[in-house]
């Protein structure tokens, strides 16, 4: 996907550079601006005629290619003219539910109802969730789960379509009285979304009254993703962000790897230095009704991965907030000191 994300304040100048001088952006290009996060998506880019000349121009300075070379080129020109480099990021479709290198682990059918406790744990706490759209399920009543859309599965649906339902069910098991605000940011067909869509979905919670944002998703990149960082920076400092650390990876998984985000692995899994906490991930939860990928489900499943450890922690924090009258950050610290919580701190 050859699209560029740029700081909206400098978009016009970047577009002029891309069209008139570097000739990588057609005159009939498209733009998608988001005023909340202050970013604009621009595309499509075409490197065919650009890259050979740029590689020759910068041969003595760098051996970068493709988008990396374009970023270098734009940065050099802006620095020479203005003394700064504008925010730039690439848009890719690599944001993944239950993030892991080797694809999704399967959900397994669970033949028993998983009761939602009849308690006030989580009362008054509002939790944001970006995931696949939830299905209609008795464990996810509209009185406690608000969503921008529902998913209605059919015989062609994949297991990943139940990811958001499973995550919301886990949160409700721990904090049944909390209010969950869901945004269907991940595709129910693939479990994926783009970095641009993720940034916009995070930005959609700006100004809302959520206290916790659960991101059971992620993507790998050796570089800090500037667009995700910008979106997170727009949230209130009081919003406690919990994210999945990834299951089978060799590099940092974003957005969990940001220092401002609680990065959660599953108990017994990888404990890289940037991971903050570990929690159980093998609890049964609400799921779809029907047969998917040749496996019949009756509304419940078991599943494995840091996505669900993240949801366990989110629900546990919400519950502790009300039972102990604490902020989200204070509740998390309290949980790590309580062996019965099963939430363990790993690294500072």
pLDDT at 103 over 80: no
| Closest to 262 in 3D by CA, of 222, 306, 207, 230 | 306
State the Cα–Cα distance between residues 9 and 277, nearest whole angstrom: 37
pLDDT at 273 over 90: no
* Per-domain residue ranges of the chain: 4-90, 95-345
The confidence score (pLDDT) of residue 101 equals 44
Three-state SS at 330: helix
The confidence score (pLDDT) of residue 248 equals 75
Q: Which residues pair with 184 in a beta bridge?
A: 131
The reply to whether CATH 3.40.50.1950 applies to domain 95-345 is: no
pLDDT at 326 over 70: yes
State pLDDT tens for residues 146-161.
998 999 999 999 999 9
What torsion do the CA atoms of 87, 45, 21, 15 make, to the nearest 10 degrees? Answer: -50
The confidence score (pLDDT) of residue 271 equals 81
Per-residue pLDDT, averaged over 261-268, amounts to 94
Q: Which residues pair with 5 in a beta bridge?
A: 41, 89
pLDDT at 1 over 80: no
**Both tokens assigned to 88:** 């730039």
State pLDDT tens for residues 33-53.
999 999 999 999 999 889 999
State pLDDT tens for residues 223-232.
999 999 999 9
Tell me which long-range contacts 288-291 makes (C-beta under 8 A, separation of at least 24): 288/135, 288/153, 288/157, 288/161, 288/162, 288/165, 289/135, 289/153, 290/153, 290/154, 290/155, 290/157, 291/155
Asked if the peptide bond before residue 83 counts as cis, ω within 30 degrees of 0, the response is no
């Amino acid at each position: 996907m050859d699209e560029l994300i740029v700081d909206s304040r400098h978009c016009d100048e970047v577009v002029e550079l891309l069209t008139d001088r570097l000739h990588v952006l057609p005159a009939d290009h498209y733009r998608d601006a988001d005023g909340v996060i202050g970013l604009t998506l621009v595309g499509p880019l075409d490197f065919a005629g650009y890259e050979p000349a740029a590689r020759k121009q910068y041969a003595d300075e760098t051996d970068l290619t493709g988008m990396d070379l374009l970023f270098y080129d734009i940065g050099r020109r802006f620095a020479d003219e203005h003394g700064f480099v504008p925010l730039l990021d690439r848009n890719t479709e690599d944001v993944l539910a239950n993030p892991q290198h080797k694809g999704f682990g399967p959900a397994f059918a669970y033949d028993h109802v998983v009761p939602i406790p009849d308690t006030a744990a989580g009362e008054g706490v509002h939790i944001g969730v970006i995931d696949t759209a939830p299905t209609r399920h008795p464990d996810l009543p509209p009185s406690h789960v608000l969503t921008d859309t529902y998913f209605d599965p059919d015989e062609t649906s994949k297991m990943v379509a139940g990811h958001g339902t499973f995550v919301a069910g886990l949160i409700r098991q721990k904090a049944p009285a909390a209010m969950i605000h869901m945004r269907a940011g991940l595709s129910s067909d693939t479990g994926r979304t783009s970095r641009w869509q993720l940034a916009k979905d995070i930005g959609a919670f700006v100004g809302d009254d959520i206290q916790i944002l659960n991101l059971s998703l992620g993507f790998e990149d050796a570089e800090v993703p500037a667009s995700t960082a910008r979106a997170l920076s727009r949230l209130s400092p009081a919003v406690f962000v919990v994210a999945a650390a990834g299951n089978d990876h060799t590099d940092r998984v974003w957005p969990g790897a940001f220092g401002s985000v609680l990065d959660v692995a599953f108990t017994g899994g990888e404990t890289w230095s940037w991971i903050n906490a570990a929690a159980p991930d093998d609890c049964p939860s609400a799921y779809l009704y029907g047969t998917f990928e040749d496996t019949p489900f009756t509304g419940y499943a078991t599943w494995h991965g840091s996505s669900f450890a993240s949801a366990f922690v989110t629900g546990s924090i919400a519950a502790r907030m009300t039972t102990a009258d604490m902020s989200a950050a204070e509740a998390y610290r309290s949980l790590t000191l309580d062996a019965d919580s099963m939430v363990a701190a790993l690294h500072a």
